[in-house]
Structure 1
Amino acid sequence: MPANLLEIQIGGRQVNREWFAIRTQPRKEQIARKHYEQQDFIVYLPHILTIRRHARRIDKVPRPLFPGYVFLHLFIEERRWNTIRSTIGATGPVRFGEYYPPVPDWVIEGLRVREDENGLISLGVHGSTFKPGDRVSVVLENLEYLEGIFQAAKGEDRALILMEILSRQVSTMVPMWALKAA
């Protein structure tokens, strides 16, 4: 496996892979991941440690950071959408009509640098200072600002915000560490 998965030389020219979000069946992320790996795809499924309360017990359990999604790192010739869609545990790639939007590399890299030695994402923020309806900015490494409206805290590490994307209002989950007051 090459040291840098983003750049590989083929026939003297540089070929780039791109990340794509793939929707899975409910709570089948691990199954989809296993089957994609068996097909020699490069798969990324980020996890966080969450608290589970059940029968007077409190456990810390790893859960997907983005429930219902895995990420595939694909060359152009690997973008066999029918194969990807029909993989056990998956429902198919995220798409808008016939357009399959790639996930920017810096998003995945930003998640990977926050992984601890167990491969769990450490978001490092506890509690929320935002109230529903507050205007917030999402600040990520290579993006100056994306603005939205804070809707709710989801656990200690994630927030649900309403953003305008492609002239539509979309509710999306973002890490708390990326939010600032607008």
Structure 2
Amino acid sequence: MPWYVIYTKPRNEKKVAERLLQIGITVYCPMITMMKQWSDRKKKVQMPLLNSYVFVCLEEKEREQVFQVSGVVRYLFWLGKPAIVREDEIVALQEGLKDTMTSFEVKGIKIGDVLPIPTGPFQGKEGIIKQINKNSLQLILKELGVLITLNKEENK
């Protein structure tokens, strides 16, 4: 069965994935763990890797079932047809998310440099450095068309 990409309402990825599972649809919502800073505390939270996107595996004739779930907006289309993600791409994403990058060191690099990503969900990809901060680094992944931020994890 093919994997399709569903576009969800903002910040509804987890809820949509749970509701789709409840009605018997195979779903995958890639999640990453991030350290969030509030004024009074720090906390590790699970966040979707791809904002407003969830993958579903179902037959073409069953595609309309996803609209029974609140939070689903539409399917992602490519060249006028629903976008299909290959099984091996889903597996690669799942495998890549098993290992997460926990730290990095900024040494002798500057904005515009191309940096290979050694570990984590984007392992093997290259990013162009957009911004360098004290505890974070922003990279543009050209082939995926996304901007990612790598945060330095503080040792406790």
TM-score by length of 2: 0.68
| Deviation per residue, 1:75-100 (Å, 9 max, x gap) | 232233xx434631121111135212
The aligned residue for residue 99 of structure 2 is 122
The Cα shift of 1:30 comes to 1.6
Question: Which blocks of at least 5 consecutive residues in structure 1 are unaligned?
Answer: 1-16, 116-120, 140-144, 164-169, 177-182
**Mapping for residues 78-117 of structure 1, pairs under 5 Å:** 78-80=62-64, 83-85=65-67, 87-96=69-78, 98-114=80-96
Sequence identity of aligned pairs in percent? 23
| Deviation per residue, 1:147-178 (Å, 9 max, x gap) | 7744458x969843234xxxxxx7325697xx
The Cα shift of 1:122 comes to 2.8
Q: Which of 23, 40, 53 lines up with 1:56 in the alignment?
A: 40
**Aligned partners of 1:44 and 1:72 also within 8 Å:** yes
The Cα shift of 1:72 comes to 0.4
Would the alpha carbon gap of residues 19 and 131 (structure 1) be closer, same or farther in structure 2, given more than 3 Å must change? Answer: farther
**Aligned partners of 1:43 and 1:71 also within 8 Å:** yes
2:33 maps to a residue whose letter is L
Q: Distance in 2 between matches of 1:156 and 1:110?
A: 26
The aligned residue for residue 133 of structure 1 is 112
| Deviation per residue, 1:114-146 (Å, 9 max, x gap) | 45xxxxx4323523666443346789xxxxx87
Q: Comparing both chains, which one has the higher relative contact order based on Cα–Cα distances under 8 Å and sequence gaps of 6 or more? A: 2
Would the alpha carbon gap of residues 147 and 51 (structure 1) be closer, same or farther in structure 2, given more than 3 Å must change? Answer: closer
1:76 maps to a residue whose letter is E
Runs of 4+ in 1 over 6 A off after TM superposition: 145-148, 155-158
Residue 161 in 1 paired to residue 145 in 2? no
Residue 28 in 1 paired to residue 12 in 2? yes
The aligned residue for residue 53 of structure 2 is 69
**Aligned partners of 1:48 and 1:122 also within 8 Å:** no
The Cα shift of 1:74 comes to 1.7
The Cα shift of 1:105 comes to 1.6
Q: Distance in 2 between matches of 1:78 and 1:100?
A: 13
Secondary structure of 1:22's counterpart equals: strand
Q: Distance in 2 between matches of 1:112 and 1:158?
A: 23
The aligned residue for residue 146 of structure 2 is 172
2:53 maps to a residue whose letter is Y
